[in-house]
Structure 1
Amino acid sequence: MTKTLIGPQLRQLRLSQNHTQAEMARRLGVSPAYVNLLENNQRSVSVKVLIALNESYGVDIRQLVNDGATSRLAELRTRVKDPSFTGPQPDLTELRAALDHAPKLVSYFLQLHQNHQLVLDAVRKLSAAGVAADIHQVRPETAIHNFFRDHANHFPMLETAAETSRAAIDGPPEDLYAGLKSYLRRAFGIDVEVCALEDMDGSLRVFDEARGRVQLSEALDPINRNFQLAHVLGLVSASETLADLVEGAEIVAETGRERCRVELANYFAAALLMPYEAVFRLAEDSHYDIDRIATRFGVSFEQVSHRLTTLQRKGALGVPFFFLRIDRAGNVTKRFNATPFTLAEEGGSCPVWNIHTAFAAPGVIIPQLVELPDAGQFFTVTRTTNRPVISRHTQARRLAVTLGCERAHANRIGYAAPFNLDDVHEIARIGISCHICPRLDCGQRAYEPLHVNLPIDVNRRGSTRYQS
């Protein structure tokens, strides 16, 4: 069984009460030496002591033992790799000591670094706009992305709700459309009809809850019709769960709250179409063959890629992936993340990354090993995905999707088999955006970075005008 260590929390509790170790020991019915051992994480806390803490200090035991120390350590390790810091990095022992003995200072440091990142993001946006403007608040999309990332892009309550609904529908994937229609009518009094394009006013799906009707555009293919019906089922069958999760997201703007509700309903839909245990087993058995998984569940390449980012259930952990979708101009249209990888929020991501070259090879999966400026290394696979073509005016409406993981997990992925993962020459050195990339020797640099002074030698011309 896992030991429960609560040293930093116990110390903070004692100090907040102005108690000595002897006074706390008296209240808990243990020796001062034992309190000292607990505070230094040299003993795991017993159930008896936890109960005594609750009775003597009125603390919530769940909050006391659920400190997220592992995730906080991982976050701290990531933050100290920021290229803004110079000199040797603190080792793991130092970081653990900081968490044990100065948890508030660590929290301040992490908050300061987050503010630093927000400033960089704001400067990048202002620079991309080309005009002066006030630094604006974090957009709802950013808040939603951070909310999903804080949950490792995994929501057990929605998984359970989706499994319950899928069991009620029953039937194989090839009959799912009929099953969804029947279940919506039987359980919720909702009828489904497919409507002509000109009757939909540009919409792909309209749900009129008051009239109990879902209208689907004929532009939707069977795969996306299933997804839209599953989305509606999530809205009506898991409405309380969605409301609780949105409330927990603490998003201020009403439009942001509604957008978060939409994304959570999309999560439900994916979980219904690709049940966790089944998709996890097939992913592991096929070495994350995306097309193989899509064939089994009757879904799209993009839907599988998105679903793979959510496989973070304890006891059945999939590879932690990030997911990114861009258009031809480089605009980010969707992003989800269960890794330390920093995803660009807008356009202008690194041209060294082959996510952009995928448009030159439609439908072909392009793998790549990449390294960020902080030395974090990742394996990515990229492929184009097509939007519905409904007339001659909507041809070639392609997007590119990328799925990526830390290099340490690449041996679990079949697409990485041709790579020599130990060969440094296989790794493409990328950045997030030229505006904030500190690389000094990149032949693709388009702008001078805003926070790093590049050395200039008038007697030497490098591969770009910013490189001497």
Structure 2
Amino acid sequence: MQKTFIGPHLRRLRQERGETQSQMAKALGISASYVNLLENNERSVSVAILFRLMDTYGVDWREIAEDDASGLLPDLRTAIQDPLFAETRPDLTQLRAALVHSPDLAQAFLRLHRAYLSASDQLMSFAALDTNAEFASADSAVHDVFRRNRNHFRDLEEAARDFWSGESVERDEIYSALKQRLRQRLGLGVRLMRVEDMPDTLRDYREDLREIRLSEALDHTNRIFQLVHMCGLLEQRELLEQLIARSGLTDARGAARLRVELANYFAAAVLMPYEAFLSEARLTKYDFDHLATRFGVSFEQACHRATTLQRDGAQGVPFFFLRIDKGGNVAKRFNATSFPLAEHGGACPRLDVHTSFRTPGRIVPQFVEMPDRSQFFVFARTVDRPTWARHAQDNRLAVAMGCAVEHVADIGYAEPFVLSGTPMTPVGINCRICPRTHCDQRAHQAVVMPQPVNAMRRGATRFET
């Protein structure tokens, strides 16, 4: 059985109530020395003590026993790959110790490092003058919220499980059932609009007319998803606001982005119920075309849902999800792994997700290795976007899914490869902070590149020192 340490949680709980260790010990019926040991993570907490904490202080034992380190460790491992730490890079044991004994310090370090990256990126690209800079920071903040929650929201899963309230709705009847639900519960109608009547818009909620308008550019699958999304926004409004308040986001743009992503999460959980989806994923070895067909969703939606299967005791393969456009820009990212996804700019050009545009609709598999020697299996495929008109027929994006190599036995896309004989492609986070100086795909000089360029030598790129 895994040991549970609650030191920082317990210390914070005691300090919030203005108690000494002796006073808390008396309230819990244990010794002051034992409280001291618990606070310093020198003893794991027992189930009996957790329940005493719940009875005495009214705290949810699941929250106080929550393992924050599982979400912070990948972020720490990503941060220390920065060339700044090349000479004094702590190892994995030291990182784990920091999270156990000083989690607040670790979080402060991560905030400082993110601020440093953001400032560096703005200085290099003059992003301070770019009106999109605030939106980029809002997306980063939302990504951080999902990482802290290990890409899993228990409250939304429970709300999604109760969505149909025991009703048996056949998959080919979901669209009609959703329209009926919206009409009966919320007094809302649903109208399908012509593209020319709702240009450049896929969904529009007209509260004044009590109507949800959907563009005919949406296929049947995405019309269903948009209606469940609206059910989440409207029926689960109180729960969404609680989750936003709990996230700590105070910026209006960040809160708005988080609200949308939480509603997307809810919609995916309704259409792809946790237990059924996990069971089918394991049975088919994560065949996402099959999963999309079985649950009536898109390939991208099925991939995204797989990243959320992180419930304690019923975990799926931990994946990262990356979506890019044809210019290499990262348009969406979710992460349940230690793989460091770029926060600014594009993804590493050595990732074959970029080449998937050459073979639309086909899976492109790849084994990759990060600068810290961690290895991952990545597979990518293009996905189509709604087509508005003849001149916009090639609205493709590409999605990449990846997991640590120890999970490849569970992934059907890896079956044609023998791991021991498969070459690893060296990749990085992105060019701005990648330490691989001799990479022939480098597009930018790294932020920290102390050696000046040798004018008398031309390497693989003009940035090679």
Given the two structures, how large is their TM-score scaled by the length of structure 1? 0.86
Q: Using a 3 Å threshold, how does the CA distance of structure 1 residues 82 and 201 change in structure 2: closer, same or farther?
A: closer
AA aligned opposite 1:141? D
Q: Using a 3 Å threshold, how does the CA distance of structure 1 residues 361 and 242 change in structure 2: closer, same or farther?
A: same
Task: Kindly indicate whether the alpha-carbon contact (under 8 Å) linking 1:149 and 1:337 is maintained by their aligned counterparts in 2.
Answer: yes
Q: Distance in 1 between matches of 2:423 and 2:109?
A: 35
Is 1:107–2:104 an aligned residue pair?
A: yes
Q: Give the match for residue 186 of structure 1.
A: 184
SS for the counterpart of 1:158 is helix
Task: Kindly indicate whether the alpha-carbon contact (under 8 Å) linking 2:192 and 2:216 is maintained by their aligned counterparts in 1.
Answer: yes
Q: Give the match for residue 432 of structure 1.
A: 429
Q: Give the match for residue 239 of structure 2.
A: 241
- 1:462 deviation in Å? 2.9
Q: Distance in 1 between matches of 2:79 and 2:345?
A: 24
Q: Give the match for residue 203 of structure 2.
A: 205
Name which of 116, 119, 134 aligns with 2:116.
119
SS for the counterpart of 1:378 is strand
AA aligned opposite 1:303? Q
Task: Kindly indicate whether the alpha-carbon contact (under 8 Å) linking 1:83 and 1:373 is maintained by their aligned counterparts in 2.
Answer: no
- 1:399 deviation in Å? 0.7
Q: Give the match for residue 412 of structure 2.
A: 414
SS for the counterpart of 1:165 is coil
Q: Using a 3 Å threshold, how does the CA distance of structure 1 residues 94 and 447 change in structure 2: closer, same or farther?
A: closer
Task: Kindly indicate whether the alpha-carbon contact (under 8 Å) linking 1:122 and 1:136 is maintained by their aligned counterparts in 2.
Answer: no
Q: Distance in 2 between matches of 1:198 and 1:345?
A: 36
Name which one, 1 or 2, has greater alpha-carbon Rg: 1
Task: Kindly indicate whether the alpha-carbon contact (under 8 Å) linking 1:339 and 1:405 is maintained by their aligned counterparts in 2.
Answer: yes
Name which of 248, 253, 256 aligns with 1:250.
248
- 1:439 deviation in Å? 0.6
Is 1:358–2:361 an aligned residue pair?
A: no
- 1:244 deviation in Å? 1.0
Q: Using a 3 Å threshold, how does the CA distance of structure 1 residues 45 and 352 change in structure 2: closer, same or farther?
A: closer
Q: Using a 3 Å threshold, how does the CA distance of structure 1 residues 23 and 311 change in structure 2: closer, same or farther?
A: closer
Across the aligned residues of Structure 1 and Structure 2, the Cα RMSD in angstroms comes to: 3.4
Q: Using a 3 Å threshold, how does the CA distance of structure 1 residues 161 and 415 change in structure 2: closer, same or farther?
A: same
- 1:84 deviation in Å? 3.1
Q: Distance in 2 between matches of 1:81 and 1:115?
A: 15
Q: Give the match for residue 307 of structure 1.
A: 305
Q: Give the match for residue 441 of structure 1.
A: 438
Q: Distance in 2 between matches of 1:408 and 1:467?
A: 34
- 1:220 deviation in Å? 1.1
Give the aligned length.
Answer: 462
Q: Distance in 1 between matches of 2:91 and 2:19?
A: 33
Q: Using a 3 Å threshold, how does the CA distance of structure 1 residues 88 and 253 change in structure 2: closer, same or farther?
A: closer
- 1:295 deviation in Å? 0.9
Q: Using a 3 Å threshold, how does the CA distance of structure 1 residues 53 and 89 change in structure 2: closer, same or farther?
A: same
**Between 119-128 and 195-204, the greater mean CA deviation after superposition:** 119-128
AA aligned opposite 1:319? V
Q: Give the match for residue 387 of structure 1.
A: 385
**Between 384-393 and 6-15, the greater mean CA deviation after superposition:** 6-15
Q: Give the match for residue 85 of structure 1.
A: 85
- 1:268 deviation in Å? 1.2
Q: Using a 3 Å threshold, how does the CA distance of structure 1 residues 78 and 334 change in structure 2: closer, same or farther?
A: closer
SS for the counterpart of 2:435 is coil
**Between 429-438 and 204-213, the greater mean CA deviation after superposition:** 204-213
**Between 9-18 and 400-409, the greater mean CA deviation after superposition:** 9-18
Q: Give the match for residue 336 of structure 1.
A: 334
Is 1:276–2:283 an aligned residue pair?
A: no
Q: Give deviations 1:328-371, integer Å, cap 9, x for gaps.
A: 11122222122222222454322111111111111111011112
Unpaired stretches in structure 1, ≥5 consecutive residues: none
Q: Distance in 1 between matches of 2:284 and 2:316?
A: 12
AA aligned opposite 1:440? T
- 1:460 deviation in Å? 4.5
Q: Distance in 1 between matches of 2:219 and 2:133?
A: 39
Q: Give deviations 1:126-159, integer Å, cap 9, x for gaps.
A: 4245898999777211111111121111112111
Name which of 430, 448, 451 aligns with 1:451.
448
AA aligned opposite 2:306? L
